[in-house]
């Protein structure tokens, strides 16, 4: 979906409630929508597919027979009427109104562009490995299952088995990878200068510029309480005892439900589902992939804690296993040591003996932020700025009353692996609500301007490829008003 993303953007702008994320990129006006689409094209794809199922199920037999015919050919690829009808009903089920023009014509043009990209990807011998597809497939499936609650609920929602759902999604993912690779190849050399960014901004009508909510930049220094060897030995002994119980006949899955501290898999008997090596931390993968079906591993240490693993099944580069995770407990004495340590760092900063950024680089335990002076990156936007509702609630309760440049007292939090950690944070900057401008929002405007420049390059490529590619469209779509004129020859 490239040129006709203007239709998608118009629909998103008219109905912002279809997205739950309230970040700036979802409330920008139409002039900003190319960036929204490029950043969100996969999320939108998944949203539509997984909100309404993969196939039109509400049509009666006569309708199904009617929509099965080839309506377009692009190189070696075809577009079926059933594909257009399916997408059409999926949009309608989400409350997306046709807007200007014929929605089915717009859907057809999306598919023509997709097939033009796929056809060129084939000519250029672009390849997506099975490992890439399967890794992404399993990653997505785990996410959906976690969101919905269980495999059974997912199957019930779509009236399909997990195998059927995966089969239908697998081909979509492969095509998505290829199209993304092709677009990247087309626009890989495109850059933008500061003067172009300024010129782009000046062309936007002032009344089209959105207001930006108050945003904050936050620095942090973290300290993990030390874990005593005694606590580590307690956890290892428990895991070895579990392994012994399995050899004597106890079910690994039952022990996982009762004792595992992995919230994502414990309720499923510790089962992870089919995964590739790239889905797992290296220490876990190195042991798991060398197990035989039914075999239970030694105790394995990872960043999450300590595990024992039981192999279920291998399929080529993928495998399915169970595990039990236990985390050593932190003693109150070690927790107090961590707080005192951070208190001393905060005092050094307050006395101007060291800057917060330097202290973060020297003393922070957080590998994701220490190299950049403690700056926390917003995972929603990739920038360092956060709106209030995007900040970890534990951090927000501390940061909300700080002045710019002020450092907090040490407080307890959890990291991404749910380990206890202590932090001090500094409010680096805070903006007031304002209309988008070059001074405060240059990076965002640069991203949008670059995205539009790349879009123009891709549009030019489409026009050129239309002339060089065999394209035929059924007469029933001959009156469509496409964004690109070269489809009907």
CATH of the domain at 114: 1.10.4030.10
Residue 409 or 274, more confident: 409
Strands lying side by side in the sheet with 411-414: 386-387, 215-223, 420-430, 411-414
pLDDT at 353: 94
Last residue of a domain, one of 326, 341, 357: 326
Q: Is the pLDDT of residue 45 over 70?
A: no
Most confident of 80-89, 247-256, 434-443: 247-256
Categorize the per-residue pLDDT at 22 as very low, low, confident or very high, splitting at 50, 70 and 90.
very low
Q: What is the mean pLDDT of residues 186-195?
A: 95
pLDDT single digits (tens) 132-172: 888 788 778 877 777 777 778 888 887 888 778 888 888 88
**Banded pLDDT at 343 (limits 50, 70, 90):** very high
Q: How confident is the model at residue 309 (pLDDT cuts 50, 70, 90)?
A: very high
Region 366-370 average pLDDT: 91
Parent domain of 265: 229-326
Confidence label for 19 from pLDDT (cuts 50, 70 and 90): very low
Do 64 and 44 share a domain, yes or no? yes
Residues 453 and 350 placed together within one structural domain of the fold: no
Please check whether residues 316 and 350 belong to one and the same domain. Answer: no
Asked if residue 374 has pLDDT above 80, the reply is: yes
Question: Residue 97 pLDDT more than 80?
Answer: no
Mean pLDDT of 401-415: 93
Question: Whole-number mean pLDDT of the chain?
Answer: 83
Give the residue from 275, 301, 326 where a domain finishes: 326
Average pLDDT over residues 254-283: 90
420 & 447 share domain:
no
Are 98 and 132 part of one and the same domain?
A: yes
User: Are residues 378 and 385 in contact, defined by beta-carbon separation less than 8 angstroms?
Assistant: yes
Rg (Cα) of the chain, in Å, rounded?
A: 27
> Which whole number is the average pLDDT over 100-110?
85
pLDDT-derived band of residue 47, with 50, 70 and 90 as boundaries? very low
- Whether residues 237 and 292 fall in one domain: yes
Highest mean pLDDT among 52-56, 144-148, 311-315: 311-315
Answer with the one of 390, 415, 432 that is the final residue of a domain.
Answer: 432
Does residue 450 carry a pLDDT above 50? yes
- Whether 248 and 153 map to the same domain: the answer is no
Q: Above 80 in pLDDT, residue 48?
A: no
With cut-offs at 50, 70 and 90, classify the pLDDT of residue 200: very high
Residues 251, 305, single domain; the answer is yes
Mean pLDDT of 403-418: 90
Q: Same domain, yes or no, for 312 and 352?
A: no
Higher pLDDT, 160 or 42: 160
pLDDT attached to residue 98: 62
- What is the average pLDDT across 425-451? 91
pLDDT above 90: percentage of residues in the chain: 55
Residue 55 — pLDDT band, cuts 50, 70, 90?
very low
* Spatial contact of 458 and 183, defined as CB atoms under 8 Å apart: yes
Q: What CATH number is associated with residue 376?
A: 3.10.50.40
Show the 3-state SS of the chain: CCCCHHHHHHHHHHCHHHCCCCCHHHCCCHHHHHHHHHHHHHHHHHHHHHHHCCCCCCCCHHHHHHCCCEEEEECCEEEEHHHHHHHHHHHHHCCCCCCCCCHHHHHHHHHHHHHHHHHHHHHCCCCCCHHHHHHHHHHHHHHHHHHHCCHHHHHHHHCCCHHHHHHHHHHHHHHHHHHHHHHHHHHCCCCCCHHHHHHHHHCCCHHHCCEECCEEEEEEEEECCCCCHHHHHHHHHHHHHHHHHHHCCCCHHHHHHHHCCCCCCHHHCCECCCECHHHCCHHHHHHHCCCCCCCECCCEEECCEEEEEEEEEEECCEEEEEEEEECCCCCHHHHHHHHHHHHHHHHHHHCCCCCHHHHHHHHCCCCCCHHHCCECCCCCCCCCCEEHHHCCHHHHHHHCCCCCCCECCCEEEECCCCCEEEEEEEEEEECCCEECCHHHHHHHHHHHHHHHHHHHHHHHHHHHHHHHCCEEECHHHCCCCCCCHHHCC
Same domain, 179 and 57: yes
Q: What is the pLDDT of residue 23?
A: 31
**Domain check: are 124 and 102 in the same one?**
yes
- pLDDT over threshold 60, residue 34: no
- Do 297 and 357 share a domain, yes or no? no
Q: Report, as an integer, the average pLDDT of 290-304.
A: 95
Domain count for the chain: 3
- State yes or no: pLDDT of 362 exceeds 60: yes
pLDDT at 101: 58
> Tell me, what's the pLDDT at 40?
34
Q: What pLDDT sits at residue 311?
A: 97
């Amino acid at each position: 979906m490239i040129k006709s993303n203007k239709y998608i953007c118009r629909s998103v702008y008219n109905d912002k409630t279809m997205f739950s994320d309230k970040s700036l990129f979802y409330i920008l006006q139409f002039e900003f929508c190319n960036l929204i689409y490029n950043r969100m094209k996969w999320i939108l794809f998944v949203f539509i597919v997984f909100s309404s199922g993969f196939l039109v199920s509400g049509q009666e037999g006569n309708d199904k027979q009617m929509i099965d015919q080839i309506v377009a050919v692009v190189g070696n690829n075809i577009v079926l009427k059933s594909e257009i009808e399916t997408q059409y009903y999926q949009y309608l089920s989400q409350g997306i109104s046709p807007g200007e023009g014929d929605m089915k014509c717009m859907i057809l043009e999306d598919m023509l562009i997709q097939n033009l990209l796929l056809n060129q990807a084939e000519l250029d011998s672009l390849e997506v490995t099975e490992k890439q597809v399967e890794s992404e497939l399993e990653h997505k499936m785990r996410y959906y299952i976690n969101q919905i609650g269980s495999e059974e609920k997912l199957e019930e929602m779509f009236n399909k088995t997990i195998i059927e759902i995966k089969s239908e999604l697998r081909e979509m993912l492969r095509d998505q990878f290829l199209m993304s690779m092709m677009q990247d190849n087309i626009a890989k050399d495109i850059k933008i200068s500061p003067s172009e960014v300024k010129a782009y901004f000046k062309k936007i009508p002032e009344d089209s510029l959105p207001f930006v909510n108050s945003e904050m930049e936050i620095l942090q220094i973290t300290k993990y309480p030390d874990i005593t060897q005694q606590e580590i030995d307690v956890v290892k002994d428990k895991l070895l005892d579990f392994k012994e119980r399995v050899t004597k006949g106890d079910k690994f899955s039952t022990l996982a439900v009762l004792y595992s501290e992995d919230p994502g898999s414990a309720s499923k008997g510790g089962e992870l589902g089919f995964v590739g090596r790239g889905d797992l931390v290296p220490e876990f993968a190195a042991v798991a992939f060398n197990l035989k079906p039914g075999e239970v591993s030694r105790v394995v240490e990872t960043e999450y804690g300590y595990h024992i693993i039981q192999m279920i099944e291998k399929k080529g580069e993928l495998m399915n296993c169970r595990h039990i995770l236990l985390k050593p407990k932190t003693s109150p004495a070690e927790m107090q040591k961590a707080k005192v340590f951070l208190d001393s760092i905060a005092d050094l900063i307050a006395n101007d003996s060291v800057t917060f950024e330097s202290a973060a680089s020297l003393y922070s335990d957080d590998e994701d932020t220490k190299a950049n002076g403690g700056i926390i990156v917003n995972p929603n936007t990739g920038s360092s700025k956060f709106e209030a509702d995007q900040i970890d609630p534990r951090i927000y309760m501390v940061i909300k009353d700080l002045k710019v440049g002020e450092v907090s007292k040490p407080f307890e939090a959890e990291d991404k692996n749910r380990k206890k950690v202590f932090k001090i944070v500094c409010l680096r900057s805070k903006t007031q609500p304002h209309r988008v401008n070059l001074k405060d929002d240059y990076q965002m405007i640069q991203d949008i301007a670059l995205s539009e420049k790349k879009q123009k390059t891709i549009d030019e490529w489409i026009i050129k490829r239309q002339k060089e590619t065999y394209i035929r469209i059924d007469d029933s779509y001959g009156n469509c008003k496409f964004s690109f004129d070269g489809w009907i020859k």
